[in-house]
Structure 1
Amino acid sequence: MWSLILNSFLVLFIPPLLFADGWKTPTREFLEHGREIFGLALALVVVTVVGIGFLIYWVVPGIPLIPAFALAAVLSPTDAVALSGIVGEGRIPKKIMGILQGEALMNDASGLVSLKFAVAVAMGTMIFTVGGATVEFMKVAIGGILAGFVVSWLYGRSLRFLSRWGGDEPATQIVLLFLLPFASYLIAEHIGVSGILAAVAAGMTITRSGVMRRAPLAMRLRANSTWAMLEFVFNGMVFLLLGLQLPGILETSLMAAEIDPNVEIWMLFTDIILIYAALMLVRFGWLWTMKKFSNRFLKKKPMEFGSWTTREILIASFAGVRGAITLAGVLSIPASLAGW
């Protein structure tokens, strides 16, 4: 039973969580800070995967390089919702929070796509080259976004058809809305593109395309409350499943440390602290670099980072809190991953 749940984790939990994130993302702020968001969500993810991947490879005994990249990829997504829950709503400046929310949405997708690439290479189902990986990433990314748009458009058409011929029955319409992220994900994966980005695109499209505005009022009200509840439940289930797995993970890790003469138990906890500190340091260094780059080369139209103080950069650096997507990604890694 547990094996089935863990093997299906990516399909069961990630599509609705990413769909909900896309649904809630403010479009105006997302487009306004597009350069900043993609600088963090794409470039920083690549830097994190490579830099932290090599660090894990060097400090953790016995872990091969590609699985180290997979672990770094799953650690790259941030969670602005988890952050606001920890520090309190409204405690982070609005200009920073808007960028962090957009980053959290997009680097969920880019981090998980990187994870899938690393797992595929580690399991021998894909041969890695820089050029090949770049072309493949562009193909699956653009294809995934288009798939999400198309599935959302088809949902809008079906919603109008149901309203015309079956009446405005909210229950049926909400069930179809609930199935939308799963349909987007599975259809995209079936045609060989990114189901993760398809779920994000479907969530961002559904509220901006006018589909929800044209929907009956009762359906809109129930849909908002239903999705708020479902998001809470799915987030809670991710942490619950991790908690149920944690004793076994700790026991296995401690037993492995006792068996291996080259590994001490204290080293495991030291590695955790070192990797987390490195994540914060890489994030701070990247934000500082983008600030300097903006002030020097983009004087006519500087990025938002150009006006950030050192304090604000520190806030954004420590705002890289990992949330449900990271946990879901960790639990989705196959136990039979080559070399582990």
Structure 2
Amino acid sequence: MTHDDSAQSQPSTQNDLSPAELAGIADVLRDAGVDLAGPLTSRLIAGGRSNLTYRLDDGAAAWVMRTPPRAGRTPSAHDVAREYRVIKALGPTDVPVAPAVAVSEDDTLLGGDFAICGFVEGRAIQAQAELDTLTDAQLEKTVEALSGTLAALHRVDHVAVGLERFGRPDAYAARQHKRWTGQWDIVGTHLDPSVHQLAERLATRLADHLPEQASTGIVHGDYRLDNTLVQIDGDDVRVAAVVDWELSTIGDPVADVASMCVYRDPAFDLIMGSPCAWTSPRLPDVEGLAAAYERAGGVPLRDFDQHLALGYYKLAVISAGIDHRYRAGAAHGDGFDTAGQAVPLLLEAGLARLPR
């Protein structure tokens, strides 16, 4: 729920916050015990294909607010109150997150829930050009930091931190399969029939080869470099905060590792609209990332190919959802007009991971 201050803001759009909305957000902050130094201003931070992310300022301090898109929403895909809950629970743990400040589930102000966290200084490395400024030593340390942070998340006792009801602990793969198949039925209806056939084949084969769950923990659901803020000092690299928790739940940690690896696919560039950091050939491949996670003390990666196939299916549905919002006129900018092209590529990659 944070981004670095150097991120570029988007041009004026229907997503701008009005003075009345900013005044209402200020009231929510005051109710949470925040002593504001002056009127709030806002800036829509670039990046993200789902929830909107704003930087809020009062002239003395800064916060980050997350809220669903104003139009083209899909059910269960933009739950910022849920996102806030996991961030607040992880605050006292070894997992780096932004300080939780306030949440509002009153949709009369912005048309949806919104959550506010403290601003965290750090670099959001999103583009390959940004990654290329790192030395090989810094890049190696970055991969180690990412792997260690994800392994630390998976070691958290979700019951001990108050997340015992955050999600069902069992049958994670089956629930994910059902969820993303349901989402496909909502957002994939406009795509070519040949793409529908690919999605049906992958969904059917996944149902026959679902991975068995051997461990349970907190799953981020969208973990990769550009969903973290990193602080770099020479060759020392640390993760300052893990962000974008909207897909988090309780489930199988192996799926989190698989999802991270799926984002290495070049098709991800079509979703982002330009060469992104996480698809860079300078980074380890799927096997290298999996090995780095295991070295960091993560859970054993059992049934990993099946998890990868499920991860490709999930990302294909997310891509179809981005294309769905673009065609509905609810989103624009780099990546929104090309996300649909990624869908068949991801479905085919998922099929390649499963036995025929």
Question: Which category describes the TM-score, using the shorter chain as reference length?
Answer: under 0.3
Q: Tell me the TM-score normalized by structure 1.
A: 0.25
More strand by share: 2
The structure with the larger Rg is: 1
Q: Comparing both chains, which one has the higher relative contact order based on Cα–Cα distances under 8 Å and sequence gaps of 6 or more?
A: 1
